[in-house]
Structure 1
Amino acid sequence: MTYDIAALRARFPALAAGIAHFDGPGGTQTPEPVIRAIADALSNPLSNRGRTAPGERNAEAIVTETRQALADLLGAHPGGIVFGRSATQLTYDFSRTLARTWSPGDEVVVTRLDHDANIRPWVQAAEQAGATVRWADFDPATGELTADDIRAVLSERTRVVAVTAASNLIGTRPAVAEITRLVRDAGALSYVDGVHHAAHTLVELERLGADFYVCSPYKFLGPHHGVLAARPELLETLHPDKLLPSTDAVPERFELGTLPYEFLAGTRAAVDFLAALDASATGTRRQRLASSFAALEEHEQVLRTRIDKGLSALDGITVHSRAADRTPTVLLTFEQHSTADAYGFLADRKIHAPAGSFYAVEASRRLGLGDTGGLRIGLAPYNSTEDVDRLLTGLSDFLTPGRG
Structure 2
Amino acid sequence: MTFDADAIRAQIPALASGSARFDSPGGTQTPQPVIDAIVAALSAPLANRGHTTEGERNAERIVTGARTALADLLGTAPDTVVFGRSATQLAYDLSRMLGSTWRPGDEVVVTRLDHDSNIRPWVRAAEAAGAVVRWADFDPVTGELRPEHIAAQLSGRTRLVAVTAASNLIGSRPDLPSIAALAHGVGALFHVDAVGYAAHAAIDLTAFGADTLVCSPYKFLGPHVGVLTGRAELLHSLRPDKLLPSSDAVPERFELGTLSYELLAGAHAAVDFLAALAPDARGTRRERLVASFAALQEHEHALSDRLVRGLAAVDGVTLHGRGKSDSPILLFTVKGHRPSAVSRHLAAHGVDAPAGSFYAVEAAARLGLGAEGGVRVGLAPYSSTHDVDRLCAALAELDRT
d(CA) in 2 for partners of 1:207, 1:256: 30
What is residue 362 of structure 1 aligned with on the other side?
A: 362
Check if 1:35 corresponds to 2:30: no
Give, as a single letter, the amino acid of the residue that structure 2 aligns with 1:135.
W
For residue 90 of structure 1, what is the amino acid of its counterpart?
L
**SS in structure 1 of the partner of residue 121 of structure 2:** helix
Q: Which amino acid aligns with 2:327?
A: T
Instruction: Compute the displacement of 1:141 (Å).
Output: 1.4
The residue that corresponds to 2:101 in the other structure is: 101
Deviation of residue 326 (structure 1)? 4.8
Aligned to 1:63: 63
Aligned to 1:391: 391
| Cα-to-partner distance string for 1:148-184 (whole Å, 9 max, x where unaligned) | 0000000000001111010000000000111011101
What does residue range 225-264 of structure 1 map to in structure 2 within 5 Å?
Answer: 225-264=225-264
After superposition, give the CA deviation of every residue in 1:76-105 in whole Å (9 maximum; x if it has no partner). Answer: 011111101000000000000001100000
Shift of 1:282: 1.1
Partner of 1:120: 120
* Cα separation, 1, equivalents of 2:248 and 2:74: 24
Matched residue, 1:4: 4
Counterpart for residue 299 of structure 2: 299
Contact 1:2-1:295 at 8 Å conserved across structures = yes
Residue of structure 2 in register with 1:179 after alignment: 179
Unaligned runs of 5+ in 2: none
SS at match of 1:269: helix
Listed as ranges, the matches of 1:131-150 within 5 Å are: 131-150=131-150
- Cα distance in 2 for partners of 1:204, 1:323 equals 25
The answer to whether the aligner puts 1:160 opposite 2:160 as a matched pair is yes
SS state of the match for residue 371, structure 2? coil
How many angstroms apart in 2 are the aligned matches of 1:109 and 1:232?
23
1:293-372 matched pairs, under 5 angstroms: 293-372=293-372
What's the % identity of the aligned pairs?
A: 64
What do the CA deviations read for 1:294-325 (whole angstroms, capped 9, x no partner)? 11000001100000011111111110041333
CA contact (8 A) 1:172 1:327 kept: yes
Contact 1:49 1:60 in 2 (8 A): yes
d(CA) in 1 for partners of 2:317, 2:2: 35
Alpha-carbon distance between aligned partners in 2 of 1:368 and 1:118, rounded to the nearest angstrom: 21
- Return the letter of the residue paired with 1:34: V
What is the DSSP-based 3-state SS (H/G/I as helix, E as strand, rest coil) of the residue aligned with 2:243? coil
Structure 1 equivalent of residue 26 of structure 2: 26
State the shift of 1:108 in Å: 0.6
Q: Determine the C-alpha separation between the residues in 1 that align with 2:372 and 2:186.
A: 37
Q: Is the 2:304–2:326 Cα contact (8 Å) retained in structure 1?
A: no
Runs of 5+ consecutive residues of structure 1 not aligned to the other structure: none
3-state DSSP class of the match of 1:249? Answer: coil
- Quote the Cα distance in structure 2 between the aligned partners of 1:5 and 1:127: 47
Distance 1:111 1:286 in 2: 31
Separation of aligned partners in 2, 1:217 and 1:32: 15
Q: Which amino acid aligns with 1:124?
A: R
Aligned residues of 1:331 and 1:374 also touching (Cα < 8 A):
yes
SS of corresponding position for 1:333: strand
Listed as ranges, the matches of 1:78-93 within 5 Å are 78-93=78-93
Structure 2 CA distance for aligned equivalents of residues 326 and 132 of structure 1: 35
Give, in whole Å, the separation in 2 of the partners of 1:231 and 1:259: 22
CA deviation profile, 1:319-347 (whole Å, cap 9, x unmatched): 00413335211100111111111100111
Q: 2:288 is matched with which residue?
A: 288
One-letter code aligned to 1:112: R
Q: Distance in 2 between matches of 1:231 and 1:78?
A: 11
What is the aligned partner in structure 2 of residue 202 from structure 1?
202
- The answer to whether the 8 Å contact 1:183/1:189 transfers is yes
Name the counterpart of 1:273.
273
- Contact between 1:354 and 1:377, CA under 8 Å: does it hold in 2? yes
Paired letter, 1:282: R
Q: Secondary structure at the match of 1:156?
A: coil
2:82 partner letter: V
Is the Cα–Cα contact under 8 Å of residues 321 and 367 in structure 2 kept in the other structure? no
Answer whether contact 1:166 1:326 (CA < 8 A) is retained. no
CA distance in 2 between counterparts of 1:370 and 1:357 reads 8
**Letter paired with 1:244:** L
Find the aligned partners of 2:394 and 2:258 in 1 and give their Cα distance: 46
Provide the alpha-carbon RMSD of the alignment. 0.8
Q: Is the 8 A contact 1:172 1:325 kept in 2?
A: yes
The equivalent residue for 1:375 is 375
With normalisation by structure 1, the TM-score equals 0.98
